[in-house]
Amino acid sequence: MKRLISGNEAIFQGTIRAGASYFAGYPITPSSEILQQASLHAEENPEFRFLQAEDEIAAAVATISASLAGAKAFTATSGPGFSLMQEALGWGHAVEAPCVFVNSMRVGPSTGMPTQPAQADLLQVKGGSAGDYYPIAFYPNSVEECFRLTVTAFNAAEESLSPVILLSDAFLSHLYEIVDLEGMEVKVIPRKREPLGRGQRLFTGIAHDKMGNTKTSHPEIYQEWLWELKDRHHQAAGQYPLYEYLPHQGSNILLIAFGITSRIISPLKKKFSIFRPIRIFPILEKELKEVTQSYRHIIVIEGNDGQYAGWVEWAIGRKVLRVPCLGGGFKLQWIRNQIEERLKGDGG
Amino acid sequence: MMDRSYKDLLKMKRLPHTWCPGCGIGAVLKNVAMALRELGWNYQNTVAVSGIGCSGRMAGYMNLDAVHTPHGRALTAAETIKTVRSDLNVIVLSGDGDLASIGGNHLLHTTRRNPDITVFCNDNEIYGLTGGQAGPTTPKGTKTITSPQGEPYQSLRLGRILTTQAPYFYARTTVFHLNHFKTCIQEALLWKGFSFIDIISDCIELNGRRLGFKTAHQMFKWFDERFHIVEGVRAHLNEDELGIAKAEVEEVPKAIEKVEVKPQVQIEELRLFTAEELQHFDGTNGRPIYVAYKGKIYDLSASPLFQGEKRMRCHIGGKDLTKDIDIAPHGEDSVFKFPVVGKLQVTTSLFE
């Protein structure tokens, strides 16, 4: 049945389709609708558990604990709340708990502009917690994709045994589009790990061996564990090399944009080639290299001051031009002017 | 022969444990294991959750599925596990720094939601694992490496925090009073709802030696001097009492007693005070505290709020408080309770 629904609602419906049975969250604009939807759903379905926690720290810890207890669990927040969740995210990677964290980005730092969209949490997603870990993150740009990628995020979480991040932004979360969710076919991967209460395992954030014995001064055990984790994450992510590439014959300029920005610049496809990464982390290294090599200029347009552009430069080994859309200012005409200015400055 | 079957509940292969000789945590772990064994709780129906710190390592020695959370988050994790898997028994093994300091917010809110979990708090009044820093439960005046002049603040009273909202179960015991300790564990594990055992424990290496104790046993004797066991179930425990405080339902607040309005004292018969005379009675040097209200002088010496103080928040003894009380949130009834001792001489001021 076709319905007019918002990005946030599509994300919530996606979690239900993926088999989620636990939600913990804390109110924050622009992700609060997911919290409200979850509370309504819990009222009608007693097997679905819901917690409005005292803060995002508790919400994140509860999400990971629920996952260990055997539930498919998720939480939703925005930038400032996501900062509070970093501790639990690191723990989630250490105890290898599959779950999904939705981060609907708004302008930061700190409280910033609560109702304005931004894309400035990328570095926070990549490495906001202590130590080395290898997060997987997806970023849709339409309401339909919000639904599909939520299911994908849950699947990637089950395969990588880690918290997977689904990015959104204030614009996309509140974007209404007509979609037929029931008619969409998606693949769902079930939980493999035995839930709690079956053995004598230890799920700990302390460095440990395979038996769960704490090993705090054994570099070789730690290295073995970390390489295995990295390998598993890249294998899981490798199954979802998601991107959208719109080549334009005769253009030697490639625009890179994702999420809300890619929607705003879509009219420019008549003039430029456009590449839209959907899997933000791990970086689409191979794909970026292949796509970018035939272009003279690469321009990254994003809602932050060059967070993704830095990763693109790292991946392809050459400089790119940057158009930062800051403070919620996403205007097509302004972006067009900026592109022209950048090209003039670069001898275009 | 002593029953040693409790060892099934412990990962004996992992021994010797990581704690210092003389530490109280070993006693906590052993007694919890014995109590679980007696109730028939095992790895198929029980999960242990712990936080960070010396006591946070306890869960790792239990022969159960154990979850070792980030610092302070044990209660949230335990509550969630109980929510998702209500068929499991969930116990929390952690310490005072973890539960009461960094996890303080979760302590308030988890108790409010009252999940059916049992919390064992190894309360050694110090941060042991990090080297002996002052904690929230360190008694005022105690010298530690982060309070070289003596801990300047009042310690957190867990017993009061945990008994504000019924239903509650709060027990205080020590690692020295073993029989009492066992009774408390048994009762706590069987309590339906959130139960909390505050186990006063010793940290001889990083707290005791600095306090002047030579052995753990000397600290145990000190616990015996500091605390005494109270029998029966109480609503609340004093700070020097060991026992169980529990309540299943909220006490219905008593109806507010109507303040008897005293018969009008003939204002003419009363002693006349000038403003200067009144100022003399401000509670200092053992003098009574008089305040004026609408022309009458009241003796507030018996007020518990003024006890030993010249000043109670914004109200000062020896003054005309008519204006203060008119705008105060409590109204004038709070003054009428007190005896009238005189009247204020009215002086007309040019500047009124």
A141 Rama sector, left if φ>0, alpha if ψ -120 to 50, beta otherwise: alpha
Do residues A14 and A108 both lie within one domain? Answer: yes
Domains held by chain A: number? 2
Can you give the CATH number for the domain in which B328 is found?
A: 3.10.120.10
Do residues A225 and A302 both lie within one domain? Answer: no
Q: What is the pLDDT of residue B80?
A: 97
Do residues B68 and B127 both lie within one domain? Answer: yes
Q: Final residue of a domain: which of A192, A214, A238?
A: A238
Do residues A323 and A217 both lie within one domain? Answer: no
Do residues B105 and B208 both lie within one domain? Answer: yes
Mean local confidence (pLDDT), A16-37: 97
The C-alpha atoms of residue A276 and residue A241 are separated, in whole angstroms, by 12
Q: What is the pLDDT of residue B325?
A: 74
Do residues A31 and A176 both lie within one domain? Answer: yes
C-alpha R_g of chain B: 27
Do residues A227 and A249 both lie within one domain? Answer: no
Do residues B175 and B31 both lie within one domain? Answer: yes
Do residues A201 and A321 both lie within one domain? Answer: no
Q: Final residue of a domain: which of A238, A254, A273?
A: A238
CB contact under 8 A, A65 and B77: yes
Is residue B115 assigned to a domain? yes
The C-alpha atoms of residue A161 and residue A220 are separated, in whole angstroms, by 22
A153 touches A166 (CB < 8 A): yes
CB-based contact (8 Å) between A68 and chain B?
Answer: yes
> Per residue in A138-178, pLDDT tens?
999 999 999 999 999 999 999 999 999 999 999 999 999 99
Do residues A232 and A248 both lie within one domain? Answer: no
Chain B residues 289-308 within an 8 A CB cutoff of chain A: none
Do residues B88 and B117 both lie within one domain? Answer: yes
Is residue B254 assigned to a domain? no
Do residues B203 and B327 both lie within one domain? Answer: no
Could you list the residue range(s) of the whole structural domain that residue A20 is in?
3-238
Do residues B215 and B287 both lie within one domain? Answer: no
Peptide bond into B339 cis (omega under 30): no
This prediction has a pTM of 0.85
> Per residue in B47-99, pLDDT tens?
999 999 999 999 999 999 999 999 999 999 999 999 999 999 999 999 999 99
Token pair in block for residue B307: 């006890």
Do residues B177 and B293 both lie within one domain? Answer: no
Residue of B nearest to A69 (CA): B81
Is residue B124 assigned to a domain? yes
Can you give the CATH number for the domain in which A297 is found?
A: 3.40.50.920
Q: What is the ipTM of this complex?
A: 0.95
Contacts of B65 in chain A (CB under 8 A): 196-201, 203
> Per residue in B87-127, pLDDT tens?
999 999 999 999 999 999 999 999 999 999 999 999 999 99
Mean local confidence (pLDDT), B285-306: 77
> Per residue in A178-221, pLDDT tens?
999 999 999 999 999 888 988 889 999 999 998 888 899 999 99
Confidence of residue B255 (pLDDT cuts 50, 70, 90): confident
Relative to beta strand A137-138, strand A279-281 is antiparallel
Can you give the CATH number for the domain in which B33 is found?
A: 3.40.50.970
Do residues B177 and B297 both lie within one domain? Answer: no
Do residues B121 and B171 both lie within one domain? Answer: yes
* Whether residue B349 has pLDDT greater than 60: no
Q: What is the mean pLDDT of chain B?
A: 88
Closest CA to A84 of B70, B53, B108, B96: B70
Is residue B261 assigned to a domain? no
Do residues A131 and A195 both lie within one domain? Answer: yes
Do residues B181 and B330 both lie within one domain? Answer: no
CB contact under 8 A, B69 and A195: no
**In this complex, how many residue pairs, one in chain A and one in chain B, have their CB atoms less than 8 Å apart?**
114
> Per residue in A302-341, pLDDT tens?
999 999 999 999 999 999 999 999 999 899 999 999 999 9
Q: How far is A145 from chain B (nearest CA, A)?
A: 29
DSSP secondary-structure letter at B62? B
CB-based contact (8 Å) between A65 and chain B?
Answer: yes
Can you give the CATH number for the domain in which A193 is found?
A: 3.40.50.970
Do residues A121 and A54 both lie within one domain? Answer: yes
Do residues A50 and A151 both lie within one domain? Answer: yes
Do residues A230 and A315 both lie within one domain? Answer: no
Do residues B40 and B169 both lie within one domain? Answer: yes
Q: How far is A296 from chain B (nearest CA, A)?
A: 48
Do residues A141 and A266 both lie within one domain? Answer: no
Identity at A119, one-letter amino acid code: Q
Q: What is the phi/psi pair of residue A122, to 5°?
A: -60, -45
Could you list the residue range(s) of the whole structural domain that residue B185 is in?
5-247
> Per residue in B146-176, pLDDT tens?
999 999 999 999 999 999 988 999 999 999 9
Domains held by chain B: number? 2
The C-alpha atoms of residue B37 and residue B20 are separated, in whole angstroms, by 26
CB contact under 8 A, B66 and A203: yes
Q: What is the pLDDT of residue B272?
A: 80
Do residues B209 and B284 both lie within one domain? Answer: no
